[in-house]
C-alpha cells in the first residue's frame, strides 16, 4: 500500500502536476535559464535540492508553525536553504553560480517551491514530503533540460557545451525563440500524456470486464449480438 502511495506521489510530481509543462509555473526562470542545457540542468537541480530540503523541514515543523504566520515561516525556511545552496555553488561550482545570476536568489520566491510547501509539505509526513520534493524537482529539471537542449542545439549548434555543428539559428537564443520552444514542448507533453491516460483507461476497462476465469469477456457488440440471436 505504501509503495503504491509513494508511486502516485512521484508520478504526480513528475507527470500529472509537472510544474513546467502542466502547471506552467516558474515561466520567467524557465525562459531565462534555458539558453543552454548546462544552465537548465543546473537550475533544475538547484530547485530540486531546495525543494527537498525545504519540504522536509516544513513537514517536520508543520505542527509547530502557527497557521497565521505559515507563509512568512515558509519563506524564511526556503531562504535559508537557498542561502546555503548559494554558498556551496559559489565555493565549488562558480561558473554555474555566475551563470544563474539573479535567478538563484529568486528561487526563494519561486512559486513551485512555495506551492509545494503550502499544498503538500505542510499537510503530510516527512517521507511523503521528501518524495514529493524530489519528484517535483526532477520533473522541473527534465522540462528545463529538454528545453535547454533544443534551444542550445538549434541556436548555438552545440550539445551541453560541445560544438556539434556550424549551422545556427539565432532566433532560438532570444526570448521569442524561448517562447516558441516552450509552447511546442508544452503541446508535445500534453499530447503524450493524453495518449498515456487514454491507454491507462483502456487497460482499466479491460481489467474491469475480465471474468473470474482467465478468458476475457467478448466485446460488448458481440455479447449483444449473441443475446439477440
Task: List pLDDT tens digits, range 152-164.
Answer: 999 989 898 888 8
In the chain, % of residues over pLDDT 70: 91
**Where is 158: in which H helix or E strand?**
strand 158-159
Percent of the chain with pLDDT over 90: 59
CB distance 10 to 135 below 8 Å: yes
Residue 33 to residue 44: CA distance in whole angstroms: 10
Q: pTM of the full predicted structure?
A: 0.83
Q: What is the pLDDT of residue 203?
A: 84
Helices (H) and strands (E) in the chain, counts: 9, 2
- Of the candidates 190, 144, 186, 195, the one whose C-alpha atom is nearest the C-alpha of residue 24 is 186
Residue 175 grid coordinates: 526570448
Tell me what pLDDT residue 224 has.
45
pLDDT at 228 over 80: no
Of 43-47, 85-89, 94-98, 128-132, minimum mean pLDDT range? 94-98
Residue 219 has pLDDT above 60, yes or no: no
Whole-angstrom distance, CA of residue 70 vs CA of residue 114? 11
Report domain extents, the chain: 2-205
pLDDT above 80 (res 167) = yes
3-state secondary structure of 163: strand
Amino acid at each position: 500500500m505504501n509503495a503504491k502511495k509513494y508511486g502516485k506521489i512521484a508520478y504526480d510530481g513528475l507527470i500529472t502536476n509537472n510544474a513546467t509543462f502542466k502547471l506552467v509555473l516558474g515561466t520567467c526562470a524557465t525562459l531565462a535559464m534555458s539558453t543552454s542545457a548546462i544552465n537548465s540542468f543546473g537550475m533544475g537541480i538547484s530547485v530540486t535540492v531546495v525543494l527537498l530540503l525545504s519540504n522536509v523541514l516544513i513537514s517536520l515543523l508543520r505542527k509547530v508553525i502557527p497557521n497565521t504566520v505559515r507563509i512568512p515561516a515558509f519563506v524564511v525556511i526556503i531562504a535559508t536553504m537557498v542561502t546555503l545552496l548559494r554558498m556551496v555553488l559559489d565555493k565549488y561550482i562558480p561558473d554555474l553560480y555566475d551563470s544563474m545570476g539573479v535567478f538563484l536568489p529568486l528561487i526563494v520566491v519561486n512559486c513551485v517551491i512555495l506551492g509545494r510547501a503550502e499544498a503538500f509539505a505542510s499537510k503530510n509526513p516527512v517521507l511523503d514530503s521528501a518524495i514529493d520534493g524530489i519528484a517535483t524537482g526532477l520533473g522541473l529539471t527534465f522540462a528545463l533540460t529538454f528545453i535547454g537542449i533544443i534551444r542550445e542545439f538549434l541556436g548555438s549548434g552545440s550539445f551541453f557545451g560541445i560544438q556539434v555543428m556550424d549551422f545556427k539559428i539565432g532566433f532560438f537564443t532570444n526570448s521569442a525563440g524561448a517562447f516558441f520552444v516552450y509552447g511546442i514542448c508544452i503541446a508535445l507533453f500534453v499530447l503524450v500524456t493524453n495518449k498515456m491516460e487514454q491507454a491507462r483507461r483502456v487497460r482499466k476497462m479491460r481489467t474491469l470486464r475480465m471474468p473470474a476465469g482467465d478468458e476475457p469477456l467478448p466485446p460488448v457488440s458481440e455479447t449483444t449480438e449473441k443475446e439477440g440471436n
